[in-house]
A = this chain, B = another copy of it.
């Protein structure tokens, strides 16, 4: 950690020739002002349009010349800036990104194009029934602004100007609470030295508060003449940092990890009710949810919903040993696969630091997975039943639940 609060994490992977990096900056859409939602998202589009000594075109050329694979995205609490490149280009890439993060131009003439793209992103949702239904589910289930749409609204996008973006950047792009993680073929000393030089004089800002408005919850149907009916369900779960985290993951994976999982076999394989069905755990530091999704024909939508709810509830009645063994095999296999990807590791160590203030070892995580038993999972499910959920359906006809 540097004196200004910036955390640098690095995982050396000596056998690769590339490196991935990941800035987790506390500038997610939850910090958008309620009057102008969409700021953080517009900023993530604008931020690399010229920075430091480079205008827009020069900066893109510099980045492409380093063979950078890159992406900026906005989540609830964080703006994430990700890149991957050859190890030998890592320090030069971080230098470019120091301009982007600290000294973006946010040029006035570029704003209309960014706004036009943001408006299209909103319009395109109308042609994406699944995306739209799941967004509505989050909006109903989570307190605002956590359940907001990062895109904002057409009105709020039009209402933006460069000053709003600059003010948001000044306020929320801050070293304290930012995590820069790097994984790949790297050497610690030159990396620390370079990051210190590049980001050392970045000034801290005070923590920003988020005021929550209670979630609407309940059931909603979006009437739309689609060929398929979309079904989204959300339930409260535990936070990521809860001691029951692995039990919650175990339960979700009994339902939805792998081809022999319950939702897959009972809803998709046996009955052919829907092409896509899943449940997933989505956690934050102070809360968590289980989201379930099914997309199905309009005729079989009610049956799909009924069967999905049966499976979500049946887990409290018992779990087989072979189901737990399957879940353990799947989780361990994906842990080890993740160990071999620089991008996955850069993401995982940043996430570990954010949630736990430290990086967990593979052995430690494997031990938690090994400790799963049917009894522990069922006990957990009884204490945290999937009930009182929020339901969103979208299609030509409302469903009963």
Contacts and interface: CB of A to CB of B under 8 A. Distances in A.
Contact of A120 (B49, B228, B326): B228
A138 interface: no
Contacts of A68: 333
A333 B86 contact: yes
A311 to B, nearest CB: 16
B226 A326 contact: no
A295 interface: yes
Contact of A65 (B48, B127, B325): B325
B228 A64 contact: no
Contact of A339 (B17, B85, B123, B270): B17
A243 interface: no
A200 to B, nearest CB: 28
B296 A120 contact: yes
Interface string A329-359: 1101110110111100000000000000000
A127 B129 contact: yes
Contact of A270 (B113, B275, B333): B113
Contact of A18 (B17, B61, B70, B340): B340
B271 A340 contact: no
A272 interface: yes
A258 interface: yes
Interface in A211-246: 226-228
Given A113-B272, A260-B64, A297-B123, A17 B228 contact: no
Contacts of A67: 329-330, 332-334
A117 interface: yes
B112 A272 contact: yes
A95 interface: no
B272 A123 contact: no
Contact of A259 (B70, B265, B336, B337): B70
Interface string A50-90: 00000011001101111111100000000000001110010
A121 interface: yes
A274 interface: yes
B271 A113 contact: yes
Given A117-B275, A268-B117, A260 B18 contact: no
A71 to B, nearest CB: 10
A64 B258 contact: yes
A116 interface: yes
Contact of A297 (B57, B86, B120, B342): B120
Contacts of A260: 57, 60-61, 63-64
A330 B265 CA distance: 42
Interface string A199-213: 000000000000000
A337 B68 CA distance: 11
B259 A63 contact: yes
Interface in A374-388: none
A254 to B, nearest CB: 11
27 contacts: A17-B336, A57-B265, A61-B260, A61-B322, A63-B259, A65-B322, A66-B333, A67-B330, A67-B333, A67-B334, A69-B337, A86-B336, A112-B272, A114-B272, A116-B272, A116-B273, A116-B300, A117-B268, A117-B272, A117-B275, A120-B272, A123-B228, A124-B228, A126-B227, A127-B227, A127-B228, A340-B342
Given A18-B337, A116-B272, 14 more contacts: A18-B340, A63-B259, A63-B260, A65-B322, A65-B325, A65-B329, A116-B271, A116-B273, A117-B274, A123-B227, A123-B297, A124-B275, A340-B341, A341-B341
